[in-house]
Amino acid sequence: MLSVGVVGGTGYTGIELLRLLIMHPQVELKYVTSRSEAGTKVSDLFPNLREHTDIEFTVPDIDTLSECDIVFFATPNGTAMKMVPDLVAKGCRVIDLAADFRIKDQAVWEHWYGMDHACAELLSEAVYGLPEINREAVRDARIVANPGCYPTAVTLGFLPLIENGLVEDQHLIADAKSGISGAGRGANVAMLFSETNESFKPYGVAGHRHLPEIRQTLGNIAGHDVGLTFVPHLLPMIRGIEASLYAVLNSTGTDLHELYARRYAAEPFVDVLPEGSMPETRSVRGVNMCRISVFQPQGGDTVVVSSVIDNLVKGAAGQAIQNMNIMSRLPETEGLVHPALLP
């Protein structure tokens, strides 16, 4: 059994992580921390976990957390980087679901996140935890930077095209939409039901924190810097991301559906839909799956890719457990195979 700790188990990502870990047959959940909820039963805060766990929240402590094989951080940006050096020094492996280790360039990270990095010396060691491109590096990593939700959907959507040099990669467009849970569980007037219901709006058009992460990842795949216009939108639903991706083809002779089907044939959590099918966010609700369709409208030189994920699962907690499985030499699908929630 894997001994697991979770730092920061009170947000939407944290509760989704706990739900999935509790169902995992190879996990012993030893610690769940929260300074504000210390002493409270997790199931008292999250009644969906009643009769599934009796664990209580505790104050985060390096010595107790270091008893775990793996520690997850489901904390705000800037928290993990203060504790990770001590944990890895004690032999603990870490998966950070926030952004502390995603961007390799310290100056870029500090610009976008507005704070000094507390352990910049570990940025080069951290492995970007998108298994579809970094599976072997994840296997032996001490620190895994779990990707953001938008970057997961966008990268998986563009990946086969950029790997094969099939598109003009200086003018990529990602038009993405997310449910409200992507904004977190904190009180926020803009996220109230009466503020978001029956409305649809873009945000972060001038620059979203996931932009440098996506550019870094796509650039690593391409072997050079790429140009990307990324516009996120807020949808009046709880879960889900749909990313509509646009690029201009260098040539029009490739069977794009076959390209995608071949690239993802061995990937357990990427589903290339039949030609002409339209992905729906409801088809991935609650599961660690990315569903993709690729189109070439009117046979022209523009390719359109639609990629859908659950932002809390393949975009966060589920992908983190996928990485845990890889790091622990467990079957990659362990604890993660179940149908989506409908309706």
The catalytic position among 68, 92, 119, 149 is 149
Tell me the pairing of strands 93-96 and 143-145. Answer: parallel
Q: Compute the distance between CA of residue 150 and CA of residue 323 in angstroms, rounded to an integer.
A: 18
149 is an active site residue: yes
Count of alpha carbons within 13 Å of 258, Cβ hemisphere only? 3
Q: Which two tokens stand for residue 158?
A: 């563009």
Q: Compute the distance between CA of residue 72 and CA of residue 80 in angstroms, rounded to an integer.
A: 9
Q: How far is CA 187 from CA 181, 183, 190, 192, 193, in A?
A: 12, 10, 9, 8, 12
Catalytic residues: 149
